[in-house]
Amino acid sequence: MEELSVHSYLEKENLFNLFKAQLQKDFESSGIDTSFESLPSEFEELKSTIIKTLQPLLRSGSSLINILLYRIDISELQQKNYQKQNQHLKYEEVLAELIIKRVLQKVILKNNFSG
């Protein structure tokens, strides 16, 4: 999913609300206590918010990160390939971008096939 299309999808209020709900569900189901009620829809701000949630888990070496990535369906290979393509990004930025893109993809697919 390209950056331009990610931005345009996040700007659609109905999709963004579904995105927030799915993101909250994925984090909670992974045992990560957080609230995404007041998430910004702007990509960089959204990424920053997710990074702030991930950083304590990454610092502590928590296995909850792996549970979250498995739940969202982001493989180690995807992480490595994305990091290779975006070498200027820190690891937590790579994870945040992949999380946003994958959760948004799941929401769009559900939305398109449920109606």
Supply the pTM of this predicted model. 0.92
For residue 109, is pLDDT > 60? yes
Bigger pLDDT: 11 vs 70 = 70
pLDDT in tens, 45-102: 999 999 999 999 999 998 999 999 999 999 999 999 999 999 999 999 999 999 999 9
| 47, 31 contact by CB (below 8 A) | no
pLDDT at 4: 52
Q: Calculate mean pLDDT across residues 18-34.
A: 94
